[in-house]
């Protein structure tokens, strides 16, 4: 029997690119909070989309928000607005560049300002906030645009999501100070043969992940996601050659209970 306080996480989309069978980055936490929105409307039937109360974003890159406009449209007419939650540098990009009446309508005013379909909710770095039964704590990471990882907690258990990032002390520090850390979900985008490609936008490759292992709390499993589909075969070989049993690639939809 799952415990009442357990943390349920589904990896709806573990990829940093899109093709049939490869869904963009999206996690579902406790059934009602989405972390990133790359492929929510591909992965979930309408009934499950309607259960989503909030979308928490790591950053505003397209592979993390692609399904957000479509989700919002599907939720039109609901009594409660969908909350989009992130630190202000992420939300301001959405306001300016997405919900600008040119790329997509501004559903903060639709059907009316009093009864909007969506609400943007800024949060502060390093300050825990409660979302349903789960507590999220954002921390800044190091990517080419403002980006955040999250520690996600329920009593006695926590997991950490890195968001898109290069190696950064901020990530190791967040892992080190998290009590009851059960798993780390760590981005891994390109193969080692693409190290130069990975460096400019600030992403990880297998050798950078292996180098970072000693910085992370021992024995905590590290689940790797955000692979670019064209790089996946090489990444798989490089991770296998690293012979690190803690490292596990997430290659499809999976349900975890911590």
Binding site for Zn ion (CB under 5 A): 16, 61, 63, 164
What lies within 8 Å, CB to CB, of 146 at 6+ separation is: 59, 87, 89, 90, 140
Nearer to Zn ion, 162 or 178 (CB): 162
Taking the complex as a whole, the smallest distance from the CB of residue 166 to Zn ion amounts, in Å, to 11
Taking the complex as a whole, the smallest distance from the CB of residue 229 to Zn ion amounts, in Å, to 12
Distance from C-alpha of 141 to C-alpha of 242, rounded to nearest angstrom = 25
Tokens of 233: 């075969």
Taking the complex as a whole, the smallest distance from the CB of residue 251 to Zn ion amounts, in Å, to 17
- Where in 105-226 does DSSP place strands (E)? 118-123, 129-131, 134-140, 148-154, 157-161, 181-187, 222-225
Nearer to Zn ion, 159 or 227 (CB): 227
Taking the complex as a whole, the smallest distance from the CB of residue 226 to Zn ion amounts, in Å, to 6
Nearer to Zn ion, 157 or 203 (CB): 203
Distance from C-alpha of 167 to C-alpha of 209, rounded to nearest angstrom = 8
Tokens of 169: 């002390």
Nearer to Zn ion, 136 or 148 (CB): 148
Where do we find the tokens 């850390």?
181
Distance from C-alpha of 167 to C-alpha of 122, rounded to nearest angstrom = 26
Taking the complex as a whole, the smallest distance from the CB of residue 170 to Zn ion amounts, in Å, to 16
Tokens of 170: 């901020």
Nearer to Zn ion, 13 or 16 (CB): 16
Taking the complex as a whole, the smallest distance from the CB of residue 187 to Zn ion amounts, in Å, to 7
Nearer to Zn ion, 182 or 226 (CB): 226
End-to-end CA distance of the chain: 12
DSSP letter, residue 81: P
């Amino acid at each position: 029997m799952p415990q009442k306080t357990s943390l349920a996480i589904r990896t709806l989309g573990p990829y940093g690119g899109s093709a049939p069978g490869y869904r963009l980055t999206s996690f579902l936490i406790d059934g009602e909070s989405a972390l990133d929105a790359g492929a929510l409307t591909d992965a979930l039937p309408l009934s499950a989309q309607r259960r989503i109360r909030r979308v928490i974003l790591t950053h505003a890159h397209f592979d993390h928000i692609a399904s957000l406009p479509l989700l919002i449209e599907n939720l039109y007419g609901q009594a409660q607005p969908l909350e989009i939650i992130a630190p202000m540098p992420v939300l301001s990009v959405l306001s300016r560049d997405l919900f600008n009446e040119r790329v997509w309508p501004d559903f903060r005013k639709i059907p009316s300002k009093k009864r909007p379909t969506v609400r943007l909710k800024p949060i502060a770095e390093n300050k825990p906030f409660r979302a349903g039964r789960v507590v999220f704590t954002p921390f800044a990471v190091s990517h080419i645009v403002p980006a955040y990882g999250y520690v996600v907690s329920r009593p006695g258990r926590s997991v950490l999501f890195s968001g898109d990032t290069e190696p950064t002390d901020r990530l190791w520090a967040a892992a080190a100070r998290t009590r009851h850390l059960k798993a780390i979900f760590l981005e891994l985008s390109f193969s080692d043969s693409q190290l130069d490609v990975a460096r400019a936008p600030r992403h990880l490759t297998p050798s950078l992940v292996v180098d970072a292992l000693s910085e992370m709390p021992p024995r905590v499993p590290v689940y790797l996601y955000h692979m670019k589909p064209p790089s996946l075969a090489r990444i798989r070989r490089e991770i296998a050659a690293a012979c690190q049993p803690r490292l596990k690639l997430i290659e499809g939809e999976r349900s975890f209970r911590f």
